[in-house]
Amino acid sequence: MKSLFILGVFFWILVSAAAVGHAALRKRDPRAAAMWMAISTLIPFAGPLAYLVFGINRLKRRSAFLTRTRARRESLMPRLSRQAVFPPKIPASVVAIDGISGAVTGRPLTTGNRIDPLPGGNQAFPAMLTAIGAARHSINMSTYILGKDAVGKRTITALCAAAEGGVQVRVLVDGIGTDRAAIAMARKLRDSGAELAVFHPLLGLPFRRPSINLRNHRKLLIIDGKIGFTGGLNITSTHFLSRLKKRPPVRDIHFRVEGPVLQWMQEVFSLDWQASRGEILEGEGFFPEPGFPGTDLIRAVPSGPDEDLEHLYEIILGALRSARHNVLIMTPYFIPDRVIIQALRSAVLAGVMVNLFLPEKGDHPLVQRASNSYLSELLKAGVRVVLVPPPFVHSKLMVVDDAWSLIGSANLDPRSFRLNFEFDLEVFSTDLANELNAYAQELAGAGAVLKPGMMQSRPLGIRLFEGIIRIFSPFL
């Protein structure tokens, strides 16, 4: 018995030391490193196990695959040889953002694109189904949530029909965002010849390290490498208005995209597919010679806990610091860190009008409580906060100086910045910026505009509760 006890203590010290050493070497945030070092040391066995599941939040891709990816990127460059020329109406402040984003991502600003907003599921889903039905060679779809509902079933049916018609169909769903019942429903894809993969499933042991935080939050649909859809919509009926539904749909916006930027959208999907299935997607079937159907200047901005860590975060900071006239931010989940808060305050001090649109009633009460705790400081600094009335708004967008837009899957919170795999597009276009400004104003309607002091005038108990929740906001 004594020898077993000594062996147990030795093993505890060993695994705790391994966890502490890993946290000390790999954690970029000193506070997070200190927290995990304490947990791993003070809680026998369960502490290191918790660190393994919750604390290690990086995906390392194989060096051989990264070498092939870099080579493919270099081969794509001649195809995208048109030089991006900014029209005169694009202000210098927005041109400066391009320099920041190019340096951060290492991806070029592509020209000759066309992007069309699709507000709401009633516009987006029919357009996506039409594109799936017209596919000739390949369909690649990635979604965080695939609902076991009318929209999910209809999408699966359309994908099966395409696969039976000879189209190569690949569908990637997230292992937590999509529940097991919906994954079971989607397995009928395999019967039609399509391929289904689950990104980082929790039940991957012993072959895969478990992690709740490594989530693929991207929304991508790529048809023949020539037509793409991306934005904030998941494949679920919650975004769709029908006569049978009693509750109004969640409001969101998606985008249809054509042009050279599809090459980079396809590359992002291929990286995620390789991580899930080990298959490398290459060749003209997936990366066809691009057309130039429009005049929009667009850059792909993938972000996630891999080689693209914090890219989105750095671009947003760069955009806030470059703004000279106005900034519009709409997000369903708002949990900024001190750097983002200071950037918003600095923008206001520099004379920039900052408008922050948040849902009046969120779908995650604790997240909304944490979000509320940040508003007093921002209101005092001069940020204009508008609460968008129900139904819930899931839209994620940012507009700077009426000429630069950031649209896609990412929220303005730590999970999107550092934990989730996200995909966004930055678009240098006054036309799209004006459309998004109008979209935000329309959704807000007669929404409440918060005044300085309003948050502080609420009952002490509510403010105290929100302050406590705020402590845990990086983990929500």
CATH number of the domain that residue 368 is part of: 3.30.870.10
Is residue 426 within 8 A of residue 405, CB to CB? The reply is: yes
Catalytic residue among 272, 311, 396, 402: 396
Residue 224 annotated as catalytic:
yes
Average pLDDT over the chain, rounded to an integer = 86
User: 316 and 280: one domain?
Assistant: no
Q: Does residue 239 have an active-site annotation?
A: no
Same-domain pairing of 142 and 278: yes
List the catalytic residue out of 401, 402, 413, 424: 401
Active-site residue, 364 included: no
257 has a pLDDT exceeding 80: yes
**One domain, residues 51 and 161:** no
Residue 244 has pLDDT above 70, yes or no: no
3-state helix, strand, coil in the chain (%, to 5): 45, 20, 35
Residue 470 belongs to some domain of the structure: yes
Instruction: Name the CA dihedral angle for 426, 432, 433, 439, rounded to a multiple of 10 degrees.
Output: -120
Q: Is residue 95 part of a domain?
A: no
Active-site residue identified among 27, 148, 200, 217: 217
Query: Pairing between strand 326-330 and 448-449?
Result: unpaired
Which of 340 and 241 is assigned the larger pLDDT? Answer: 340
Angstrom distance (rounded) from CA 98 to CA 108:
9
Kindly state whether residue 103 falls inside one of the protein's structural domains.
no
What CA–CA distance (Å, rounded) separates 248 from 241? 7
Q: Which residues are CB-contacts of 428 (< 8 A; sequence separation ≥ 6)?
A: 86, 90, 94, 98, 109, 296, 297, 298, 403, 404
Q: Are 337 and 415 in contact (CB under 8 A)?
A: no
Lowest-confidence region among 100-109, 128-137, 215-224, 446-455: 446-455
148 is a catalytic site residue: no
Which one of 98, 174, 224, 402 is the catalytic residue?
A: 224
Residue predicted with more confidence, 260 or 76 = 260
What pLDDT was estimated at residue 474?
67
Asked if residue 71 and residue 23 are part of one domain, the reply reads no
In a domain, 249, yes or no: yes
User: What is the domain range of residue 264?
Assistant: 63-90+113-296
Q: What is the pLDDT of residue 213?
A: 72
Phi, psi for 6 (deg, rounded to 5): -65, -40
pLDDT at 194 over 60: yes
| pLDDT at residue 470, rounded to an integer | 84
Catalytic choice (153, 219, 254, 311): 219
Look at residue 475 and tell me whether its pLDDT is greater than 90: no
Helix (H) or strand (E) holding 404: strand 404-408
Residue 66 clears pLDDT 60, i.e. is over it: no
Tokens 């708004």, located at residue: 393
379 versus 49: the higher-pLDDT residue is 379
Q: Which of 296, 321, 349 is the last residue in one of the domains?
A: 296
Is the pLDDT at 49 greater than 70, yes or no?
no
**Residue 390 and residue 415 in one domain:** yes
Instruction: Kindly state whether residues 323 and 444 are assigned to the same domain.
Output: yes
440 contacts 393 by C-beta, under 8 angstroms: no
* Residue 27: active-site member: no
Task: Give DSSP secondary structure letters for 48-78.
Answer: HHHIIIII----PPPHHHHHHHHHHHHHHGG
Residue 97 lies in a domain: no
Same domain, 276 and 335: no
Better-predicted residue by pLDDT, 98 or 54: 98
The confidence score (pLDDT) of residue 285 equals 78
Q: Quick one: pLDDT band at residue 63, thresholds 50, 70, 90? A: very low
What digits encode the pLDDT tens for the residues 115-174?
A: 999 999 999 999 999 999 999 999 999 999 999 999 999 999 999 999 999 999 999 999
The answer to whether residues 363 and 458 belong to one domain is yes
Residues 133, 248 within the same domain: yes
Comparing 299 with 245, which gets the higher pLDDT?
Answer: 299
- Could you give the count of Cα atoms lying within 13 Å of 124 in the half-sphere of its Cβ? 30
Helix (H, G, I), strand (E, B) or coil at 198: strand
Unique residue bearing structure tokens 């004006």: 434
Domain count, the chain: 3
Instruction: Determine, yes or no, domain membership for 12.
Output: yes
The β-bridge relationship of strands 168-174 and 195-199 is parallel
- Which listed residue (272, 394, 402, 424) is catalytic? 394
Q: Which of 239, 263, 296 is the last residue of a domain?
A: 296
> Do 151 and 178 fall within a single domain?
yes
79-104 pLDDT, tens digit each: 565 677 888 889 999 999 999 999 99
Q: Are residues 198 and 234 in the same domain?
A: yes
What local confidence, expressed as pLDDT, does residue 302 receive? 95
Is 31 in the same domain as 77?
no
**Would 425 be classed as within a structural domain?**
yes
CA distance 219 to 274: 17
CA–CA dist 239, 11 (Å, integer):
51
What phi and psi values does residue 170 have, to the nearest 5 degrees? -130, 130
Spatial distance between the Cα atoms of 144 and 175, rounded to a whole number of angstroms: 8
What is the pLDDT, as a whole number, of residue 258?
97
DSSP state, residue 120: S
Whole-angstrom Cα distance, residue 258 to residue 298? 10
In a domain, residue 102? The reply is no
